Homo-oligomer: A and B are copies of this chain.
Amino acid sequence: MPFDYSSLFRPGLPPPAARWRGFPRYNFVGGHNDAANVPVAEFIAAAESVLSREGRTLATYGLESGPQGYRPLREFLAASLEARTGMRQTADEVLIVSGSLQALDLVNAVLVAPGDTVILEEATYQGTITRLNRLGARIVAAPLDEGGIRMDALAGILDGLKAEGVAPKYIYTVPTVQNPTGTVMPEDRRHELLRLARAHGVPVFEDDCYAELTFSGERPRSIRALDDGGGQVVYCGSFSKTVAPALRIGYLVADWPVLSRMLPMKTDAGTGALEQMVLAEYCAVHFDDHVAGLRGVLKEKCDAMVEALSAEFGAAASFAAPAGGIFIWVTLPEEVDTWRLFEAAQAEGVAINPGVEWTVERALGRNRLRLCFGHPTPQVIREGVALLAGICHREFGVPVRGANMER
């Protein structure tokens, strides 16, 4: 009889993991990216160049750059982010993290205690919701429209919390290619958000992970840029969506009074150095061109997804074409429970994100789903959406018919 741990496990653990069985055939989940666009030859050249020059520094924790991360990567980011977002910063205000998920952990570690209140977009990144639930935070949902958080609603929420005597710890927003809705908050609304945050003394946590991937290549200045040194905004981003998700490199930009509190909570003895070195070497030369090319590829895939949804679901699927990124947020008729659709689809090799995983309130997500299109080819997108429509029809009678055929 092997030793039984069951009486020793900490109470409240999530269910055990199932064994991994490989990716589903039609993989519309996860932030995976286009495989053909991984710059393999350039990574090899970058590895050779940077290791030849500095490989021996791998013998020390943090290379020779200290706990904030490889200095040339921070210097690239300081300059590149200014050009892209309008934010001005030095390398000393950049903290390299082990994927932007660690940015969420660090911000929560310094600000959020159990019972604390945070304001999230009503539909937002699952990883953010899960973390805050595990921490025992109270999440207040801010309603969204096609320009992101509705400022009238946010003002009401802030006033309501103030009346309760509650000081929310932050307003978390993905303002540029919102996850999952794919919208972009206009600059005037960003000013208004900042004005409200200042008036109520609430930090803004700006997650800009998808911001480079607007299909137009245009984007408003970041909220942190508009704050212009006010220190109200903690900013995070990632190379997962712009370069490659299996490289676990993200970054935080914040003023030193906050960064210096997050640093001691980064207890991983540094972020993977080889990935930082190769990225710094690669990005200094290729980043802008690479991202420009990737935008075009993702736009094609997005078009394939939009066309497939229209063809297969017809009027049953309502959605706004995303302004960029790698996912689309789809609303199905009320009678469709997308959690049940998720389970039925999984059994047939189609992976989708049921809406309840991406919404603060389950009711909002019940008949919605998120479909990622960054990884599958247009052909796989078409096949998978057709299969999904067939499953949805079988389970819910929806769509009654697709645009192209009776079911």
Contacts and interface: CB of A to CB of B under 8 A. Distances in A.
A269 B40 contact: no
Most chain B CB neighbours (cut-off 10 Å) among A60, A116, A255? A60
A131 interface: yes
Contacts of A47: 43-44, 47-48, 51, 278
Interface of A: 2-3, 5, 7-11, 13-20, 22-23, 30-38, 40, 43-44, 47-48, 51-52, 55-64, 66-68, 92, 98-99, 101-102, 105, 109-113, 116, 127, 130-131, 167, 169, 198, 201, 203, 229-232, 240, 244-249, 255-261, 263-265, 267-275, 278, 375
Nearest to A6: B257
A73 to B, nearest CB: 13
Given A92-B19, A101-B269, A258 B5 contact: yes
Nearest to A59: B35
B33 A111 contact: no
A15 B56 contact: no
* Chief secondary structure at chain A's binding surface: loop
A196 to B, nearest CB: 14
Number of identical monomers bound together in the oligomeric complex? 2
Given A32-B60, A43-B51, A17 B263 contact: yes
Contacts of A248: 98, 268-273
A112 B105 CA distance: 19
A60 B270 contact: no
* CB-based closest 6 A-B pairs: A20-B66, A272-B272, A40-B55, A246-B273, A2-B231, A16-B260
B246 A2 contact: no
A111 B369 CA distance: 35
A59 B37 contact: yes
Nearest to A112: B10
11 contacts: A2-B229, A2-B257, A3-B230, A8-B111, A8-B169, A9-B110, A30-B60, A43-B51, A47-B48, A98-B272, A248-B270
Contacts of A201: 3
A132 to B, nearest CB: 12
Contact of A98 (B11, B244, B255, B268): B268
Contacts of A2: 229-231, 255, 257
A269 B257 contact: no
Contact of A268 (B52, B55, B102, B130): B102
